[in-house]
Amino acid sequence: MNFQNKTIFVTGAASGIGKATALEFSARGAKVAVVDRNSELLAEVVDQIEETGAEALALHCDLTQGDEVFAAVQATVSRWGGLDCAVNAAGVEGATKKLLDEDDALFDLTMDVNLRAVWYCMRSQIEQMLKQAEGGSIVNVSSGAGLVGSARSAVYSASKHAVLGLTRSAGLQYARNGVRINAVCPSGVQTPMADRIVDSFEGGAPSKGGAGYPLGRYSTPEEIASGIMWLSSAGAASAIGSVLTIDAGFTAG
């Protein structure tokens, strides 16, 4: 899985899975555009990448705004001449509430960040990749809650199910154009988001630390990034609309 001189676009890159993915791509020789709303944390990620001698580009972007997403993709292409791989990892966790307690504002925020942003990203990324002789690869980050229901948040689960619908459908539509689109479904990952979810449960989540998972612990961001590397690599050339589940056994039962 060598990405020497490949150009990569990673959203949600300021922390968690997105950050781990950006760092792993750069360690494998890629030039990485790191995209997020948190400029301060983005700068730290860029510093980490550049300390290794790799190239990085920080792009502050509100992914719920289509024009900003398009501009970020174009800035990446202008800097390095193309777009080989994209990873859409940005997301919000919603809230620990039952459906009747989830109001319009929470619904809109969750859908905007988890679904609309992915839709905007895919549109700009696919448009660019169709111009390239070798196409490209897109990996969307869904969730274990995109495969099964969630007692914690119906709206979050719905948004992640929808990401898989986009992934599979677009994967079918553009496979013969050389654009491969796949998804990963993590669950219970050691990230700031997981910490916020634990804190949202009164008395802490029942699976705090991953104790309730078959593996007995949470997955690490680096383990999810490893799966993303494979889906983005030439070794996954025939993976089209695939869903790779890396969830410490959460959905296996």
H helices within the chain, ranges in order? 16-27, 39-51, 66-80, 104-111, 117-129, 154-174, 192-200, 221-232
Per-position DSSP letters for 128-165, written without gaps between them: HHTTSTT-EEEEEE--GGGTS--SS-HHHHHHHHHHHH
CA distance 183 to 222: 16
Of 4, 18, 7, 5, give the one whose Cα is nearest residue 193: 18
List residues bridging with 222 in a β-sheet.
none
| Annotated active-site residue in 156, 174, 213, 218 | 156
Contact 13, 4 (CB under 8 A): no
Please name the residues in contact with 203: beta carbons below 8 A apart, sequence gap of 6 or more: none
Please name the residues in contact with 118: beta carbons below 8 A apart, sequence gap of 6 or more: 88, 140, 163, 166
Is 156 in the active site? yes
Contact 145, 157 (CB under 8 A): yes
Per-position DSSP letters for 57-68, written without gaps between them: EEEE--TTSHHH
Tell me if residue 251 falls in helix, strand or coil: coil
Catalytic positions, written as ranges:
156
